[in-house]
A and B are shown apart, each in its own frame.
Chain A
Amino acid sequence: MAFLKPLALTVTLGAALFMTSSGSYAQDSFQSQLKARKGQFSLLALNVGVLGGMARGNMDYDAGLAQEAAENIVAIAAINQTPLWPEGSDGLSIEGTRAKPEIWEDFDDFASKWAAVATAADGLPDAVGDGVAAIGPALGALGGTCKDCHDTYRAPRN
């Protein structure tokens, strides 16, 4: 039953994006887009935290829970980012984000960095079922893709 949850999430998110991606986003949706963006990263951190907690030995290893977290990460990484990054939502234009204006100078490159997150995430579900020792390296690969993007597109904390 557990495996249905991430799948359901993928389907729901996919449907939501399908319904909205053909229309334009009105100006009053700007804040909602930002909230969705931040929420996505909170969801990501929550699930990475499950795997990280096990890898660090702060949590007992539980294959089922690890599997669930991994599949959630796959689902989150599959979200199309375009609607979440409206022009003008960088840290120089608005408060409360560390997104650098460089994102919009080369959005294709930015999108390819997110695609790399998805590729690394795809390796997680198979890896994390094999015992706690396999989590660290798989998570390391995922973390590398976070870093590759942050290195160029995220400013230091204020």
Chain B
Amino acid sequence: MVVAVIMLAAAALFAWQLMRPAPMELGRFDDIGGDPVAGEAVFWAAGCVSCHKAPGAEGEDQLVLSGGQRLETAFGTFVVPNISTDPDAGIGRWNVGTFAHAVTQGVSPNGRHYYPAFPYASYALMTDTDVADLFAYMTTLPASTAVQDDHDLKFPYTFRPGLGLWKRLNGDPRFKGPSGTPELERGRYLVEALSHCAECHTARDLIGRIDKDAWMAGAPNPTGTGRIPNITPGTLRWSRGDISYYLETGFTPDFDSAGGHMANVITNMQKLTPEDRNAIAAYLLQLPSQP
């Protein structure tokens, strides 16, 4: 009996350890001295606005990162949080270290796991400099006092400590696609780390991990009907110029115009440099074709 209790306690302790957020050495960010101008470029490439803007916000209003959009998914409804500079409703009290922990590890300042609807599994590949620059830029944005609802999720997804296990099962962040030239490497960094394209363009397994064997082969739309398309070369069949022009204007080669969430993504991609849009195109064209 006593042995059983001890074993149960040990198992519980072990499980608890597995579910705890992994520690991160945060002090290393203090010395970087983020550059807000460089951070603005990171901000658009990382697509923060698309989810964190107020519902329906356009133009300059998008920069008020009050959150409030409701993402209806198979796991329940995620309510996007306020990440504006308000000290109470937003992240105005954060420092670069807590920001880095949140963005790259999905851990809140008080040690709770964030849900991976926040694409930290992709942002984990960000350079320390980009994280610090991004934070420096975001501290220049307006504050919103809007307080958002909690997520409304289905059981068992309501059990946040379980996300610790999910993170362990998800493994360490690794780049997946082609590199080899400076342009491809830049494209890979943009696509895989900042712009987190695979989060929608790649299917997930039963526990919601991105299936790297079906990289960019398309997937069911995570927040509604329809499918997010396959963007590997055998299926997409667009030229480098076609892809760059699409990312710049939203126009497909036959002058249809982007729809759904991709219309938001184009708003971000328009703000990249032409070189960066070309780098994304170069990367996509080097991906292995997927059926």
Which A residues form the contact surface with B (CB < 8 A)?
45-46, 48-49, 52, 56, 91-92, 98, 139-140, 143-144, 146-148, 150-152, 154-158
Q: Report if A156-B255 is in contact (Cβ < 8 Å); known contacts: A143-B249, A146-B250.
A: no
Q: Give the most central of A49, A91, A139, A146: most B CB within 10 Å.
A: A146
The CA-CA distance from A56 to B241 in the complex, in Å, is: 8
20 A-B residue pairs with Cβ-Cβ distance under 8 Å, sorted by A, are A52-B245, A139-B249, A140-B248, A140-B270, A143-B249, A144-B250, A147-B250, A147-B266, A147-B267, A150-B259, A150-B260, A154-B259, A154-B260, A154-B263, A155-B259, A155-B260, A156-B224, A156-B226, A156-B227, A157-B227
Say yes or no: A158 contacts B226, CB within 8 Å: yes
Which B residues form the contact surface with A (CB < 8 A)?
56, 58, 221, 224-229, 241, 245, 248-251, 254-264, 266-267, 270
Say yes or no: B245 contacts A56, CB within 8 Å: yes
Residues of A within 8 A of B266 (CB): 147
Say yes or no: A156 contacts B251, CB within 8 Å: no
The CA-CA distance from A34 to B263 in the complex, in Å, is: 23
* Nearest-Cβ distance from residue A136 to partner chain B, whole angstroms: 8
Say yes or no: B227 contacts A143, CB within 8 Å: no
Q: Give the most central of A151, A152, A154, A157: most B CB within 10 Å.
A: A151
Closest 5 pairs (CB-CB, A-B):
A154-B259, A151-B263, A146-B257, A156-B226, A150-B259
The CA-CA distance from A154 to B233 in the complex, in Å, is: 25
Say yes or no: B259 contacts A143, CB within 8 Å: no
Q: Can you name the residue of chain A whose Cβ is closest to the Cβ of B259? A: A154
Say yes or no: B254 contacts A49, CB within 8 Å: yes
Say yes or no: A45 contacts B228, CB within 8 Å: no
Known A139-B251, A147-B257; further 20 A-B contacts with Cβ < 8 A:
A45-B254, A45-B255, A46-B255, A48-B255, A49-B255, A139-B249, A140-B270, A146-B257, A147-B250, A147-B263, A147-B266, A150-B257, A150-B263, A151-B260, A151-B264, A156-B228, A156-B229, A156-B261, A157-B227, A158-B226
